[in-house]
Structure 1
Amino acid sequence: MSEGTMQRRAQRDQRDDQSVQRTGRLRAALAVAAVPVMLVAAGCSGDSGSGSDDGGSPAAGAGQTTSASSSAAPTVPPAAYKTLPKVCDVLSKKTLEELVPEAKAGKAGNTDDTSTRANCSWDSLKNNGVKGSQFRWLNVSLLRFESDIAGGAADQQAHAYYEKQVKGATSVQGAAQTRQEPLAGTGNEATSVRYDLKKKEGAFKQQTVVARVENVVVTVDYNGAGLAGDKTPDADDLTKAAQKAAKEAVASVTAANTGTGSGSAAKPSSGAPSPSASAAKS
């Protein structure tokens, strides 16, 4: 064998040894790398088994959460009053003859739902010949609220509207000599407001009584004037008349819902104060 041949064989043997060594190292590395993969697989298998060992507890927990959410859903108390009386019939014939003696019949306002909103008005013009004439105008409006999640309890909504009505009556543009006072024995809370208002026809004495009974707000507007030289009516007399009308209207609302007709005996609701702080005498 020549020296060259022996040298080439030695180089080939050396390369074979190196190849075997690299193959051994690669196999070792692959074996080491396979260990974490197997551990991860085993871990995942363990988690899966743990879930099944709970006997479906995750599903049971979800059911408990749903049940708790359902029981915790917000609620509001139902409205105490479910209907309104015929608004043009809330006042007695005697009261109408006193307040609007020349009125023929009440005129009901247009509304889509008379069980929640209604109003009726009367006007009277008594001609006294050369002395002039006496004018009277009366309006009764009823507004009933329903409980709902967005708005809250019906009596709370009615109380807020009641206060808004009182504020509006005491802030009429051009009004003079404005006075307000709480009115007892008229629903849960009531306020009487009066003021003078000059118009081109004459000097008017305006009376507004706002009352709340449960979830219904009653507003009575009553004014009078002496026209064509007739004397101006007495404000105290008009105030008493308007307050009387408000008491009757409240009683009619209560009677329509309870059959008692005793609106002045209605107990204050727990959800709204009685009388209102806004009813303090100014």
Structure 2
Amino acid sequence: MQRRAQRADQRTLRASRLSRVLAGAAAVPVMLIAAGCSSDSGAGADAEQASASPASATASPTPTVQAAAYAKLPEPCSVLSKKTLEELVPEAGASGKESTSDDVSLRAGCSWDSLDNNGVRGSQFRWLNVSLLRFESDVTRGTGEQRAQEYYAKQVAEAKSAEGAQNTGAEPLTGTGDQATAVRYDLKKKEGAFKQQTVVARVENVVVTLDYNGAGLAGDSTPDADELMKAARQAADEAVAAVTEANGTDASAAPGSTAAPSASAAKSAAAAATSSGTPLKAG
């Protein structure tokens, strides 16, 4: 009887232990599931954050500017024909005096002077100067044409406000490049009364400034300003044509029309041309 009771107690004890083991085993999957949910939640957050970030930064576009139409300048002392030089500066001879330049592809000029001595009747003095300035396109300063327009306006303003000028007059010209202005004034010096004519012209990205003046010295008569201006305009037309021809464009195109860029000009790189010049004045 006593043994039967002991066996019953042992069975009860084993059943209690089995219950505890089973309860513990059942808790393990619950913990694993909870841990798995926690891990999946973190991975999902990381994926969401990664998808919100840009895959790669977009590169900023490189600034560009339209290439200048003209890539070079003509030989400055050859822009005028022999016939024109004989008419404007008859005693100057065949060659002129070329101005100094750090870069003749950007800046060039040439001048001639003539003194026709008439003995006791005095003499006739003439002075002619052609200056050429070419502007290249630059991403910070603008296109070559825009820069040439600015310099053109500056040259016209300087001609109108020349020191000591009297009876100043200005008029726009047609048929000489893309823009042109003629400025005239009188200038009295101890040598005589000078009649100054200045023609400023722009063709594409090049500005041509032509100065022509004359005076009757030692008692000779003062030259006619209208005749001098007519000659100056003729010379300016030749200088503009020389610029277009030097760049391979058709100089016989309609006056004032925009010339087509040459093949070499289309390939020219953007660069700065910051220098500017003031035409010389005789006397």
Contact map agreement 2:135 2:144 (CA 8 A) in 1: yes
More relative contact order, 1 or 2 (CA 8 Å, 6+ apart): 2
> Does 2:92 match 1:103?
yes
> Does 2:116 match 1:118?
no
The answer for the alignment partner of 1:22 in structure 2 is none
* Aligned-residue CA RMSD (Å): 2.2
Counterpart residue type for residue 111 of structure 2: S
Listed as ranges, the matches of 1:117-156 within 5 Å are 117-156=107-146
Contact map agreement 1:251 1:264 (CA 8 A) in 2: no
The answer for the alignment partner of 2:246 in structure 1 is 256
> For residues 68 and 209 of structure 2, what CA distance do their matches in structure 1 show?
19
Counterpart residue type for residue 243 of structure 2: V
Q: CA deviation at 1:210?
A: 0.1
Listed as ranges, the matches of 1:210-225 within 5 Å are 210-225=200-215
| Secondary structure class of the residue paired with 1:258 | coil
Listed as ranges, the matches of 1:28-43 within 5 Å are none
Counterpart residue type for residue 221 of structure 1: D
Q: Deviations over 1:124-154 (max 9, x none)?
A: 0000010000000000000000001111011
Structure 1, gaps ≥5 residues long: 1-39, 270-282
Listed as ranges, the matches of 1:1-282 within 5 Å are 47-52=45-50, 54=51, 58-62=53-57, 65-66=58-59, 69-70=60-61, 73-104=62-93, 105-262=95-252, 265-268=255-258
The structure with more helix, counted as a fraction of residues: 1
Q: Deviations over 1:154-210 (max 9, x none)?
A: 101000100000000001121111111111100001000000000111100000000
- Aligned positions, number: 222
> For residues 50 and 146 of structure 1, what CA distance do their matches in structure 2 show?
52
Structure 2, gaps ≥5 residues long: 1-37, 260-283
> For residues 55 and 257 of structure 2, what CA distance do their matches in structure 1 show?
47
Counterpart residue type for residue 60 of structure 1: A
> For residues 165 and 241 of structure 1, what CA distance do their matches in structure 2 show?
20
| Secondary structure class of the residue paired with 1:195 | strand
Percent sequence identity is 63
Contact map agreement 2:124 2:216 (CA 8 A) in 1: yes
> For residues 149 and 101 of structure 1, what CA distance do their matches in structure 2 show?
46
> For residues 39 and 108 of structure 2, what CA distance do their matches in structure 1 show?
75
Q: CA deviation at 1:250?
A: 0.2
| Secondary structure class of the residue paired with 1:101 | coil
| Secondary structure class of the residue paired with 1:165 | helix
